[in-house]
Amino acid sequence: MTELLRLFALMRPYWGWIVLGILLSWITTLANLALLAISGWFISAMALAGIAQASMNYFTPAALIRGAAITRTAGRYAERVVTHDATFKILSQLRVWLYEKIEPLAPAGLEHYHRGDVFNRIRADIEVLNQVYLRLLVPSIVAILTLIVLALVWCWFDWRLALVQLSLLITIAVGLSALSYYATFKVGKAAVQTRAELTSHLVDDLQAWDELAIYGALEQRFERFQVLNQTLIEQQRHVSRWNTLVQAALMSLGYLAMVVVLIQVIPLVHQGQVPPAYLALFTLLALGSMEIIQPLPLAVQSLGESVTAAKRIFSLADSPLPIQEPAQPQVMPQQFELRVQAVSYSYPNSQQPALRPLSFILRQGSSIALLGRSGVGKSTLVQLLTRLRPISTGHIYVNQTPIEQFESEALRSGIAVAMQTVQLFDQTIAANLRLAKPDATDVELEAACRCVQLHDFIQAQPQGYDTWVGETGVRLSGGQARRLTLARALLKPASLVILDEPMEGLDSVTAEQVMAQLLTGIKAKGQSLILITHQPYGLKNIDEIMVVRSDAPS
């Protein structure tokens, strides 16, 4: 259960909200018990007074009943608002915390995790943890506090009544909770794993839908999906079945508590130690006290899922960092010469290197093109230059300083990269561009887009630069999305620009024109350029061309 303790520590910024939610829930529970007990006493007392033809002050109990009813209603509303608001804040905090933990891991530290599994941990597993506060922490503390109050009330009349009732409630709570734990804990753990596998399976199938359709494998994958889905349904059905049994047992045991109270109180009434009207009060109080322990077995049922989800989240967050930051980082220079010396890279557990030893020197303001077919490690080199992966062998120097002596963020601040994979957010064109330079003016945005021949298209849109591009740029064509990422790279105030397959998806005429304007704009700002491509566009204006092969560069 150390995972839950660690989770409670992460909730520390919202302990004020958490305590307020528990307090409101406790007040509401007490108001509900008071309403039930006082109402029973009041009705009985009025009936007895009528039989005896005696007068009675009914203003005070009527006011107490109305006050308890108002408190219960207002308290329940306030408790729902506070506890749910606290839950949303906690979940938001956990997601931000987890993202900050895994962001330095990408991509090398996350390669042994499935993409769908990482997504499931960020979304579904953290979603499961809302049960820790709402279904575990709040009911448990409220039950303890309320039982203390009930024990004091019963002791006021007879300590034996308090002892028996308290023992009965604790026995029922512990017994049903233990039964729920042993019946559902393992199934809850398995349900989290099944849900994660189902999500990963679905992500794989959606990403490879066209390929699966071409090779006729959709039916086979759908059958696997159905098996996983049915397994998850059976696991959830098992938990729901035990939930129903526990609720039925609680109702039955509630009547048992009433019978026990009657057996204890009737002799006290007969002996004159307790007024007759209090018989209804204690009977209804015993029945209402079952509401206190009712959520506890349900909380235990969610324990398996919560603990497993927490373990999955913390195991991801505790993954070792692939890149170690320097203890005393060097200051990143504004202008620099880049020297790559016999650099290679091999993926873990791979016998073949992804990048064979490569060497070149790129002086400030110059350009180099790295040509080669797919799979020779050109894109891997980009990740090495930006410290997204550790170098297997060789060295990379900024001026005369190894890049390991710079903080990763400082190093990346001096490099603008347009990767082969287009990365656009579901935002406006202007917002996507300003990721590279948040304070960029409209004139700067327009200049960058003119350079990649995208400005005319944007101006033709009804909302211009405020046009939304959709998730991953789905509202743009492939060529338009790529040119938008190129404009973003141009916009960043960096000394080095790296373009990875910049002309992918463009026709030959557009590619030549865009490439020529890109080179002109980069040279005009005195920036260095590394062009990674397998296409011949724009190479005539490149200072140096290097062909990268799987055996050796030339």
**Total domains in the fold of the chain:** 2
Q: What distance in Å separates the CA atoms of residue 454 and residue 470, rounded to the nearest whole number?
A: 17
Is 530 inside any structural domain?
yes
Q: Are residues 291 and 346 in the same domain?
A: no
Over residues 181-187, the mean pLDDT reads 84
In this predicted structure, the answer to whether residue 552 has a pLDDT above a threshold of 60 is no
204 inside domain: yes
DSSP 208: T
- Bridge partners of 402, per DSSP, are 397
Q: What is the dihedral of CA 435, 438, 443, 444, to 10 degrees?
A: -60
Provide mean pLDDT across the span 374-391. Answer: 86
Does 269 lie in the same domain as 236? yes
Examine residue 269 and state whether it is found in any structural domain, yes or no. yes
Query: What secondary structure does DSSP assign to 72-134, as a single string?
Result: HHHHHHHHHHHHHHHHHHHHHHHHHHHHHHHGGGTTGGGTTS-HHHHHHIIIIIHHHTHHIII
518: domain CATH number is 3.40.50.300
Q: Kindly state the average pLDDT of the residues 452-466.
A: 90
Assess whether 137 and 33 both reside in one domain: yes
In a domain, 472, yes or no: yes
Domain end among 282, 317, 352? 317
User: Do 36 and 112 fall into the same domain?
Assistant: yes
Q: Please state, rounded to an integer, the average pLDDT across all residues of the chain.
A: 86
Please answer whether residues 31 and 72 qualify as being in contact, where contact means their C-beta atoms are separated by less than 8 angstroms: yes
Of 284, 317, 350, which marks where a domain is finished? 317
Highest mean pLDDT among 284-293, 295-304, 350-359, 408-417: 408-417
Non-local CB neighbours of 268 within 8 Å, separated by 6+ positions: 157, 158, 161, 274
Strand partners, 355: 345
Residue type at position 110: L
Per the listing, tokens 């890149």 go with 323
- Same domain for 137 and 78: yes
Compute the average pLDDT of residues 286-298: 83
Domain identity same for 229 and 91: yes
Mean pLDDT, residues 187-195 taken together: 85
Which range has the worst mean pLDDT, 208-217, 232-241, 503-512?
503-512
Convert the pLDDT of each residue in 134-156 to its tens digit: 888 888 899 899 989 888 888 88
pLDDT tens for residues 231-256? Answer: 989 988 988 888 888 888 888 887 88
- Summarised one tens digit per residue, pLDDT across range 390-404 is 898 999 999 989 999
**Of 268, 283, 317, at which residue does a domain stop?**
317
Q: Is residue 65 part of a domain?
A: yes
Read off the pLDDT of each residue in 61-74 and give the average, rounded to a whole number: 90
Based on the fold, state whether residues 376 and 302 are members of the same structural domain.
Answer: no
Phi, psi (degrees; rounded to nearest 5) at 543: -70, -40
The mean per-residue pLDDT over the stretch 212-228 comes to 85
- pTM equals 0.77
> What is the domain extent for residue 137?
2-317
**pLDDT at residue number 551:** 61
In a domain, 322, yes or no: no
Q: Is the model's pLDDT at 554 over the cut of 60?
A: no
Residue count (the chain): 554
Q: Could you tell me if residue 327 is inside a domain?
A: no
Residue 435 scores a pLDDT above 70 = yes
CATH number for position 177: 1.20.1560.10
User: Quick one: 308 and 346 in the same domain?
Assistant: no
In a domain, 324, yes or no: no
Whether 358 and 249 map to the same domain: the answer is: no
Percent of the chain with pLDDT over 90: 21
For residues 88 and 153, membership in a common domain is answered with yes
pLDDT, position 325: 87
Within this chain, do residues 292 and 356 fall inside the same structural domain, yes or no?
no
Supply the DSSP symbol for 402: E
Residue range 55-81: mean pLDDT, rounded: 87
Tokens at 503, concatenated: 């002309």
Q: Are residues 224 and 108 part of one domain?
A: yes
- DSSP string spanning 479-527? HHHHHHHHHHHHHS--SEEEEESTTTT--HHHHHHHHHHHHHHHHHTT-
